[in-house]
Amino acid sequence: MKSFKTTKHKRRMKFINKNYTVIFISIIMSGSVNLLHAQVKFVNEFLNIGVGARAQGMFNSVVASSSDATSAYWNPANLTRLKSPVQISAMHANWFGSIANYDYGSIAKRINKEKNSYAALTFIRLGIDNIPNTLNLVGPDGNIDFDRVTTFSASDYAGLLSYGTSVRSNLDFGGSVKVIHRTIGSFGSSWGFGADLGMTYRAKHFTVGLMTRDITTTFNAWSFSLKEEERNVFLASGNSVPISSTEITLPRAILGLAYKTNLSNFSFLVETDFNFSSNGTQASIVSANRFNIDPTAGVEIGYAKLVYLRAGIGNLQRLINETNASSVSSFDFQPNVGLGLVLGRIKLDYALANIGNVSSVAASHIFSINLDFKEPSKDKK
């Protein structure tokens, strides 16, 4: 009997330690611990994951070639390439070994047919749900009470209002304003605002796209509301108590170069994107103290405008030698593949991220759907 109680106690302590770790990891992932001043690196990273299984299959190399409602995210200038007056787009994906749920929805509507202008409303959520809250696990009398364990969610939300219009027959411009809301249960939340601008120039077979994100510099203002007993748990466990602070997302640009041609019933599309940022990470293919270039590439082969096969490569990184930081030990990359089907006004897309588990990123299955609405019928006189 004594041995059984001891084993049971060890299991409980393992549960406690594990879930304390989960709490603090979730808070750190949300960028809310030790924010002594404005943070300018890796803020709002959930907005860099990307939307749409078509884009994921090409490893997000679609800044120049996107042509559906997801363009509101990738490059709002490309909203002008929609073929229907209204389109609805949605996506669901599980990331990080199914720990996080990523959901996206968008509706794009033609505003002016003569000027070929569209507006779109987009919603994005990345959330880790059912995180055990063990802050109140130990009662005031020092006893462990599992009935005091509750759950909470760490969620990131973004809403985008986008507009795209044609300036000339081969030149489009667009932009988005975005509102960002991030929450960690009832402990803390933040609000942020920003803006993006994009343009696209099309020649016969070539397309050039330029997307500038957070051109105004996006600010996230955090506030926290912890009870006194919760603050005491943080201090007793050797963790810093989160304080109100501000995060800053610096501007960055993505240049997309695409080539597309048709041969009989087949279509061939190749695009390479170059992500310019100021992260200053040494792992980037091209990096300096305050400058980075991260390339991606994707290809799409279509048949009869009904079936599409896609592949892409990205997340190229130089792995720094652990014993000698000035040298590179090897290179890492992530390959993706995808499939698209057109069923009348419905487009179904699927992508498998990190095929073969080549990189450290866990493979994820991504599904999305686009629905086109017809032009309203005109009554015959």
Phi, psi of 128 (to 5 degrees): -110, 115
pLDDT digits (tens, 9 = 90+) for 323-365: 655 555 567 788 999 999 999 999 999 999 876 555 555 668 8
Question: Quick one: tokens of 33?
Answer: 């611990």
pLDDT of residue 306 exceeding 60: yes
Radius of gyration of the chain (CA): 24
Position of tokens 């803020």? 43
> 13 pLDDT band (50/70/90 cuts)?
very low
Cα 348 from Cα 368, distance rounded (Å):
6
Least confident of 80-89, 256-265, 368-377: 368-377
> 375 pLDDT band (50/70/90 cuts)?
confident
Cα 324 from Cα 317, distance rounded (Å):
17
Question: Which residues, in sequence order, are CB contacts of 347 under 8 Å at separation 6+?
Answer: 68, 340, 341, 369, 370, 371, 372
Q: What is the DSSP string of 304-358?
A: TTTEEEEEEEEEEEEEE-SS-TTSEEEEEEEEEEEEEEEETTEEEEEEEESGGG-
Q: What percent of the chain has pLDDT over 70?
A: 76
pLDDT of residue 18 exceeding 60: no
H or E, element range at 28: helix 2-29
> 145 pLDDT band (50/70/90 cuts)?
confident
What value does the mean pLDDT take over residues 158-167?
96
pLDDT of residue 275 exceeding 70: yes
**What pLDDT shows up at residue 34?**
37
**What pLDDT shows up at residue 27?**
45
Phi, psi of 45 (to 5 degrees): -65, -20
Beta strands in the chain (DSSP E): 86-95, 100-112, 117-133, 150-168, 171-184, 188-202, 206-213, 218-224, 245-249, 252-263, 266-277, 286-287, 292-303, 307-320, 328-343, 346-353, 364-373
Q: What domains does the chain contain, in order, with CATH numbers?
A: 2-373 (2.40.160.40)
Three-state DSSP at 78 gives helix
